[in-house]
């Protein structure tokens, strides 16, 4: 699913109007009808609905919603911000239509005209929609503060007023919505943790925009889709043997952190790798032999390995950043020319040695969380800045960059895909180690780097979701997720 910019959303509306054909006012009527059916789910005929409009097309949507609700017997009081200028053509048309069914229309010219909002009221926010391109000021700002202070049930139409679609909004004053009825498609702003306090439950309202518009549209960001993941999944032939599925090497674990090696290795084995060797510190091999008898072990404080037998290598979980490990990573970057999965302390070591970024093999997969990303690529001003950096650096260094989060971003060749599987139960130690193991296994099996990253992140989240059959988000352990990897594969193969 493509994530559109503000301009592209406006172009989609125009394209639909031209191709269907349909008038702008009839398209607005269609959108209002769907919104009304959803608002009714939260209201009763006894509810006091206070509907706030600007004079743009979002306000026009609001007036159409008000009229349709009134016709259905609901008590709606419309409030229009009046700054002395005419509204858009669609707004003016809907205002005329509203006058036919409603004589109690209020115009807000100053904060003296703000109505009392009770906590039991339903507030519909149709002040500004996706066309906003700058911070809110003046009367609108005061009105937003007034609405937020009431703590009523707020339903925003398309976007909470003050929220920007494809830019950071942290400097803005924003409506705090309980529900957002967003038109036709999910928006980039809903993926940013910095906006989570404002949009509440998101309901995508299908207003039947012409889908052919998307077929030739280029976007920087998309959402990962299940069909996309199923299409890239490899199917095993009956006469296959372990050599067909790659020999992977995991460099993981350290004193007090051997759990990271176990989790990463077990996830790798569960994800279909043919053979797996773990390179671990000296005198720790017994831990892994007992925990994972399927695993081969190379135990040495200084890793001086022949890397040529390995189809893929993952490094980082629990390894620390001491001088010896820095030398080991430098050696690996110089000697190994195939893609590497770089996680955790491997990324922190590179951050300590910035010139090493240039030595990362093409196609490698970097899996930082936001703080690791900023240590590696420089402090980001906000999430939107971090996402753009990930896209830019994926081109500059010819690699795949993950920015881990609730919606993990997978950046490759200047494009980004957001993953939508997983849950907050993954916010726990060990989850990243598992992801490293999964992706390393997929690389070893011959998946292209970008597909290994996309499939790996999706599988990881899906396994965590399936784990909630037996666990809660509080009780979920990283090891629970490993046990659900098989169920995730089975689901995707079905």
What pLDDT is stored for residue 300 in this prediction? 83
Residue of 470, 294, 450 lying closest to 364 (CA atoms): 450
Q: Is the pLDDT of residue 329 over 80?
A: yes
Is residue 281 classed as helix, strand or coil in its secondary structure?
coil
Looking only at the bridges linking them, the beta strands covering 340-342 and 365-366 are parallel
What pLDDT is stored for residue 306 in this prediction? 86
**Structure confidence by residue, pLDDT tens digits, 280-306:** 999 999 999 999 999 999 988 776 678
Q: How far apart are CA 331 and CA 325, in angstroms?
A: 10
**Structure confidence by residue, pLDDT tens digits, 28-85:** 999 999 999 999 999 988 899 999 999 999 999 999 999 999 999 999 999 999 999 9
Q: Mean pLDDT throughout 415-432? A: 97
Sign of torsion over alpha carbons 180, 183, 184, 189: negative
**Structure confidence by residue, pLDDT tens digits, 238-280:** 999 999 999 999 999 998 999 999 999 999 999 999 999 999 9
Confidence band (pLDDT; 50, 70, 90) for 216? confident
Q: Which helix (H) or strand (E) holds 275?
A: strand 275-280
Share of the chain above pLDDT 90, in %: 95
Q: Mean pLDDT throughout 191-205? A: 97
**Structure confidence by residue, pLDDT tens digits, 132-190:** 888 899 999 999 999 999 999 999 999 999 999 999 999 999 999 999 999 999 999 99
Q: What are the DSSP calls for 149-196, one per residue?
A: HHT-EEEEESS-TT--SSS--TTS-----SEEEEESS--GGGG-GGGH
How many CB atoms sit inside 10 A of residue 470's CB?
Answer: 11
What are the structural domains, with CATH classification, of the chain?
2-218 (3.40.50.10260), 226-493 (3.40.1190.20)
What pLDDT is stored for residue 130 in this prediction? 84
Residue of 43, 32, 122, 144 lying closest to 77 (CA atoms): 122
What pLDDT is stored for residue 303 in this prediction? 63
Structure tokens at 164: 């920007």
Q: Is the pLDDT of residue 474 over 80?
A: yes
Judge contact between 346 and 433, C-beta under 8 A.
no
């Amino acid at each position: 699913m493509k994530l559109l910019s503000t301009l592209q959303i406006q172009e989609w509306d125009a394209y639909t109007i031209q191709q269907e054909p349909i008038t702008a006012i009839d398209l607005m009527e269609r959108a209002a009808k769907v919104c009304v059916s959803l608002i009714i789910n939260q209201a009763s005929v006894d509810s006091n609905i206070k509907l706030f409009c600007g004079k743009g097309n979002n306000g026009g949507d609001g007036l159409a919603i008000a009229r349709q609700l009134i016709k259905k017997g609901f008590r709606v009081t419309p409030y229009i911000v009046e700054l002395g200028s005419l509204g858009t053509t669609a707004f003016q048309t809907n205002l005329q239509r509203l006058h036919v069914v409603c004589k109690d229309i209020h115009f807000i010219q100053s904060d003296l005209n703000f109505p009392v909002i009770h906590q039991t009221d339903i507030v519909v926010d149709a002040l500004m929609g996706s066309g906003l391109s700058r911070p809110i000021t003046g009367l609108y700002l005061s009105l937003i503060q007034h609405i937020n202070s009431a703590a009523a049930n707020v339903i925003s139409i398309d976007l909470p007023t003050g929220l920007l679609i494809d830019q950071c909004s942290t400097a803005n004053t924003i409506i705090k919505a309980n529900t957002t009825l967003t038109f036709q498609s999910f928006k980039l702003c809903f993926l940013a943790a910095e906006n989570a306090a404002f949009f509440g439950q998101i309901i995508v309202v299908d207003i039947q925009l012409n889908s052919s518009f998307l077929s030739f549209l280029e976007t920087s960001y998309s959402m990962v889709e299940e069909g996309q993941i199923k299409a890239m999944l490899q199917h095993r032939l009956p006469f296959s043997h372990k050599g067909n599925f790659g020999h992977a090497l995991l460099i993981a674990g350290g004193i007090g952190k051997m759990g990271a090696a176990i989790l990463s290795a077990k996830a790798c084995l569960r994800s279909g790798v043919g053979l797996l060797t773990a390179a671990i510190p000296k005198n720790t091999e017994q831990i892994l032999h007992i925990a994972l008898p399927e695993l081969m072990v190379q135990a040495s404080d200084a890793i001086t390995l022949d890397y040529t037998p390995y189809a893929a290598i993952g490094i980082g979980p629990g390894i620390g950043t001491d001088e010896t490990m820095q030398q080991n990573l430098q050696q690996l970057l110089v000697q190994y020319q195939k893609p590497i999965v770089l996680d955790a302390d491997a990324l922190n070591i590179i951050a300590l040695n910035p010139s090493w970024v240039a030595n990362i093999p093409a196609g490698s997969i970097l899996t930082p969380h936001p703080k690791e990303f900023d240590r590696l690529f420089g402090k980001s001003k906000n999430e939107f800045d971090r996402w753009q950096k990930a896209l830019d650096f994926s081109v500059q260094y010819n690699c795949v960059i993950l920015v881990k989060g609730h919606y993990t971003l997978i950046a490759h060749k200047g494009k980004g895909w957001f993953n939508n599987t997983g849950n907050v139960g993954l916010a726990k130690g060990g989850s990243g180690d598992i992801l490293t193991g999964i992706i390393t296994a997929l690389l070893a099996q011959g998946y292209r780097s970008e597909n290994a990253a996309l499939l790996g992140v999706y599988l990881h989240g899906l396994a965590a979701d399936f784990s909630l059959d037996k666990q809660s988000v509080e009780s979920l352990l990283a090891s629970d997720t490993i046990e659900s990897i098989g169920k995730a594969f089975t689901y995707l193969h079905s």
